[in-house]
């Protein structure tokens, strides 16, 4: 079995942010940081105009020494309808479908709402009523790329994270949280692993829909090692979505 070696991105995932909770004597406000991020992502008018989106792309996921290709489609009707379909072209397995419609779950995953919340941070720099979050300024961070603002995020079901926004560009760059290492998609359940630091990196922002910036590459690292890389091929805003996509699985 050949050992998989990630490119330089795997090494970059181990990069460390150092933050100073004193913020050098300044008083910063989470709302102001988020407002600047939303402006950088397209502006309040453009972001508020987004009611639905459909996103498709590919995932490279590390399972042991194997790099597993996944093709996905995400359909979302804000604020409370979200479904993701993963297909595994190299495996003879059915698609994995997970999401939610209001309070109703679609599929077996117990992390879908948290995954949705983290995606919304990187794409809208806010939360929605389906997973309402609170924000509090935490610190100023230092990184090779420059200064960044760190915001403490809290939400339902013990959701807790730190959201990092680059000071110069005002674009989201990372969400960090503590949790057991994620099981491989489609793998049989087992005992949870010890908590580790997870980092979700947002990168390659591009214009979509004429007024919004979307991160076309999202990298997930656990304890400094890249475990999954998501690459978006297409994002369509305000498309009409078949209501059947949000029906609970039978």
- Using one digit for the tens of pLDDT, what is the confidence trace for 142-195? 877 789 999 999 999 999 999 999 999 999 999 999 987 666 555 666 676 778
Stretch 106-120: mean pLDDT: 96
Q: What pLDDT is stored for residue 17 in this prediction? A: 60
pLDDT of residue 22: 46
Q: What is the pLDDT of residue 187?
A: 61
Q: Average pLDDT of the chain? A: 88
**Which domains, and CATH codes, for the chain?**
17-239 (2.50.20.10)
pLDDT mean over 10-25:
46
pLDDT at position 88 over 70: yes
User: Global pTM?
Assistant: 0.87
- Span 198-218, pLDDT tens digits: 999 999 999 998 889 999 999
Residue 249: predicted pLDDT: 79
pLDDT of 169: 96
Give the confidence band of 66 by pLDDT, cuts at 50, 70, 90. confident
Residue 64 confidence (pLDDT) above 90? no
- In three state form, how does the secondary structure of the chain look? CCCCCCCHHHHHCCCCCEEECCHHHCCCCHHHHHHHHHHHCCCHHHHHCCCEEEEEEEEEEEECCEEEEEEEEEEEECCCEEEEEEECCCCCCCCEEEEEECCEEECCCCCHHHHHHHHHHHHHCCCECCECCEEEEEEEEEECCEEEEEEEEEECCCEEEEEEEECCCCCEEEEEEEEECCCCCCCCCCCCCCEEEEEEEEEEEEEECCCEEEEEEEEEEECCEEEEEEEEEEEEECCCCCHHHHCCCC
């Amino acid at each position: 079995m050949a050992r998989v070696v990630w490119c330089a991105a795997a090494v970059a995932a181990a990069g460390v942010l150092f933050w100073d909770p004193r913020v050098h004597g300044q008083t910063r406000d989470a709302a102001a940081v988020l407002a600047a991020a939303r402006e950088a992502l397209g502006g309040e008018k453009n972001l508020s105009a987004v009611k639905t989106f459909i996103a498709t792309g590919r995932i490279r996921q590390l399972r042991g020494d194997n790099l597993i290709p996944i093709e996905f489609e995400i359909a979302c009707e804000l604020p409370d309808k979200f479904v993701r379909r993963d297909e595994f072209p190299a495996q003879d397995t059915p698609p994995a479908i997970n999401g939610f419609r209001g309070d109703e779950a679609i599929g077996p995953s117990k992390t879908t709402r948290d995954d949705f919340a983290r995606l919304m941070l990187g794409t809208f720099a806010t939360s929605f009523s389906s997973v309402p979050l609170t924000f509090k300024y935490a610190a100023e961070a230092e990184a090779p790329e420059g200064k960044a603002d760190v915001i403490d995020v809290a939400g339902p079901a013990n959701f807790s994270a730190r959201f990092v926004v680059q000071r110069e560009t005002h674009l989201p760059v990372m969400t960090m949280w503590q949790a057991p290492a994620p099981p491989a998609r489609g793998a049989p359940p087992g005992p949870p692993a010890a908590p580790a630091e997870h980092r979700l990196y947002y990168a390659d922002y591009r214009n979509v829909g004429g007024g919004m910036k979307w991160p076309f590459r999202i990298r997930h690292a656990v304890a400094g090692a890249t475990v999954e890389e998501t690459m978006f091929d297409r994002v369509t805003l305000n498309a009409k979505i078949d209501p059947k996509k949000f029906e609970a699985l039978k």
